[in-house]
Amino acid sequence: MDSVNWSIKRFWKDSFKVVFQSGIKGYIAFVAVIFVFSFLGITNLAAVADIYSVDMYMSTGWVEPELIDEVVDYARGLKVIKALPEEVSEGAVLPILRGIAEDNSRLLALLETNKAYVQRNQGEVFVFIVILTVLASAILYFIKEAFSIGQYRYILERMYHKDTKLMRILAPLSKSRFRHVCVVMAIYDFVMLLWTLTIIGGIIKYYQYYFVPFIIAENPDVTWKEAKKMSSEMTRGYKFKIFLTGMTCSLFGLISFIPFTPLFVISPLVSAIDADMYLTLRKRQDIDRSLFIEKGFDDPKEEYVLEDFAITGSSFNEADKYKFTDFVAMFFLFCFVGWIWEVALHLVRDHELHNRGFMYGPWLPIYGFGGALIIIFLSRFKGNKPKLFVLTMVLCGILEYITSFLLEFINNSQYWNYDDMFLNLNGRVCIAGLLAFAVGGFLGVYLLGPMIKSGLRKLGQKKTYILCGVLGTLFAIDLICCLIFGPNSGEGVGQKYDDVQETVIESAIGSVQAE
């Protein structure tokens, strides 16, 4: 017999308590989850509008508007577009294509490094954009659908435990479950799309299948048929009540015009209310409860069945054990990742493609040493994440400052300058850079390091020695070339101090003349 206690007032009270009365640390963690998932477009929460506006603001200026116009003009000249009625082509198709071009402004910025190529091969550029959009959309769709289940999982656990770890987002997404979750969510979306075409049927099915994502979040092994049947049983007799509860949430529209209110207030509360409704209807005794695997949602003292996501041979709380060859591989990987980062940053900011390293090969040793040192000395603090974060900033700050000094002293060149950045020290380090390094350090300690170790174990000891030997030999040859011919000093790589002083003097003279 149905024995649930449905109370909209209680939902609001419980949700307010979970979001705002779980301590500042718990609140920040909750909002951080909402921010990240909204920014990535994984969820359709109220915060998406705020995050999307920030993303669009950050993306503007990456490419000249004229280049987007050229792409659209090319599309306008295609026979298939010309064959359409003008109101369709100009009113619908071309605006959509313009939106696609704007969304792929990063690709256009890359192609714009050679404007002559773009002008000669507009058709090829257009095809690149279309193919990239299709592939990226397909890949991102499955990633977003899978990780949306992770968010539901985190919010469900937060209803009981204010100290829920952020890594619980990954609990339903182990290697054996990721593909299954993607398939089930794809079927769910497709079915909902078909029902939406019927309008009335779409409304009914929306509430009938309302808790499918929550069911998958609790039990990622369920099939689509099992999930929809369970949701149908849960919502039987309660669809209108779910609708009314949602209507009370819509009252937040009265304050949503206040900047970032959706992110910091509305979305956390609405998410908690949805989770509370699921946990309430989950208590029904008149339904088949065999798919509810988590006793922890009945009794908070019980352990969860879904264990933490783990990389083979690693843990998110215990230090990993590495071999010397692991650190060699890490060094070169981080060198390459750092080189890619610097080249991409320069490409986006200045629309110029250059080798940003002082060596000739695709590596930046400061990133290699920094990443390897973080894992060598700081992996022991995996269980104390705030301490790890602070120590990573300190270690990277010391390494970056010393490297900047040595490069300047040896080559009389300035390879980076943070004088115009907030909280910088002699232009050699700044707080923004240290925060970025700390985030990168986290990725190295928790993900990249264990993944490299696991990959090398699968590769085998002999092949690992060969790989490290080849990379080491190439690196040594590059160093010898630097000693013989001098370090790389091409476009976009450092600036001699004589040139720096000349630039400063010219700038000062220009300012005086302007006055």
- In a 13 Å sphere around the CA of 274, the CA atoms on its Cβ side amount to 22
Q: What is the pTM of this model?
A: 0.65
Residue 51 lies in a domain: no
**Do 382 and 256 share a structural domain?**
no
pLDDT digits (tens, 9 = 90+) for 350-368: 667 777 777 888 888 888 9
Name the DSSP class of 343. H
Give Cα 218 distance to the centre of its chain: 23
pLDDT at residue 243, as a whole number: 94
CA distance 400 to 418: 12
Q: Is the pLDDT of residue 124 over 60?
A: yes
The mean pLDDT value for 19-42 works out to 81
Residue 42 lies in a domain: no
Q: How far is CA 194 from CA 75, 189, 226, in A?
A: 31, 9, 19
Any domain includes 106: yes
Among 98, 115, 139, the domain boundary falls at 139
| 279 and 184 in a common domain | yes
Whether 333 and 474 map to the same domain: the answer is: yes
Beta bridge partners of 424: 430
**Domain presence at residue 201:** yes
Task: Put residue 145 in one of left, alpha, beta given phi > 0 → left and psi -120 to 50 → alpha.
Answer: alpha
Decide if 347 contacts 109 (C-beta within 8 A): yes
66 & 171 share domain: no
Interhelix angle 267-281/122-158, rounded to 10 degrees, is 60
Same-domain status, 502 and 372: yes
Please report whether residue 147 resides in a domain: no
Same domain, 344 and 449: yes
pLDDT at residue 279 is higher than 50: yes
Contacts of 353 (CB under 8 A, 6+ apart): 110, 113, 343, 346, 347
Domain identity same for 251 and 374: no
Considering the domain architecture, whether residues 343 and 291 belong to the same structural domain is answered as: no
How does pLDDT run across 306-319, given as a tens digit for each residue? 988 877 667 777 77
Contact 479, 395 (CB under 8 A): no
Is pLDDT of 126 > 90?
Answer: no
In a domain, 273, yes or no: yes
The whole domain housing 428 covers 324-514
**Claim to verify: residue 282 and residue 382 sit in the same structural domain:** no
Q: Is 395 within 8 Å of 381 (Cβ atoms)?
A: no
Q: What is the DSSP string of 297-339?
A: GT-TTSPPSSPPP--TT--SSS-----HHHHHHHHHHHHHHHH
As a whole number, mean pLDDT of residues 144-159 equals 91
Give the domain-ending residue among 297, 316, 343. 297
Q: Are residues 116 and 163 in the same domain?
A: no
Asked if the model's pLDDT at residue 95 lies above 80, the reply is yes
Rounded-to-10 torsion of CA 86, 88, 91, 94:
-90
Overall average pLDDT of the 323-329 stretch: 90
**Local confidence band at 511 (pLDDT 50, 70, 90 cut-offs):** very low
What proportion of the chain, given as a percentage, has pLDDT over 90? 30
E strand or H helix at 430: strand 429-430
When comparing pLDDT for 203 and 409, which is higher? 203
The helix (H) or strand (E) run that includes residue 495 is strand 495-496
> Cβ distance 188 to 274 under 8 Å?
no
pLDDT band, residue 84 (cuts 50/70/90): confident
Supply the DSSP string of 31-91, one letter for each residue: HHHHHHHHHTT----THHHHHHHHHHHHHTTSS-HHHHHHHHHHHHTSHHHHTS-HHHIII
Pairing assessment for the beta strands 424-425 and 429-430 based on DSSP bridges: antiparallel
**Domain membership flag for residue 308:** no
What is d(CA 159, CA 372) in angstroms, rounded to the nearest whole number? Answer: 38
Question: In the chain, what's the furthest Cα-to-Cα distance?
Answer: 87
Mean pLDDT, residues 489-501 taken together: 53
Read off the pLDDT of each residue in 294-299 and give the average, rounded to a whole number. 92
Tell me the torsion sign for CA atoms 69, 72, 77, 82.
Answer: negative
The number of domains in the chain is 3
- 31's tokens: 């909002």
Separation CA 148–CA 146 (nearest Å): 5
In a domain, 313, yes or no: no
What is residue 112's DSSP assignment?
G
> Given 252, 280, 297, which residue is the final one in a domain?
297
Instruction: Find all residues with CB under 8 Å of 216, minimum gap 6, and list them.
Output: 149, 152, 172, 181, 184, 185, 222, 227
Question: Angle, to 10 degrees, between the axis of helix 65-76 and the axis of helix 122-158?
Answer: 110
Please indicate, yes or no, whether residues 164 and 135 belong to a single structural domain of this protein.
no
Shared domain check, 358 and 291? no
pLDDT tens per residue across span 42-69: 665 555 555 555 554 444 444 566 767 7
Cα 325 to Cα 24, 158, 244, 332, 473: the distances in Å are: 42, 41, 61, 11, 14
**91-100, 118-127, 194-203, 275-284: the lowest-pLDDT one:** 118-127
Least trusted range by pLDDT, from 106-115, 188-197, 212-221: 106-115
Burial group, residue 220, by CB count within 10 angstroms (0-12, 13-18, 19+): buried
Q: How far apart are alpha carbons 307 and 317 in whole angstroms?
A: 13
* Tens digit of each residue's pLDDT (9 = 90 or more) over 414-473: 777 888 888 888 888 998 889 888 888 888 898 889 989 989 999 998 999 999 999 999
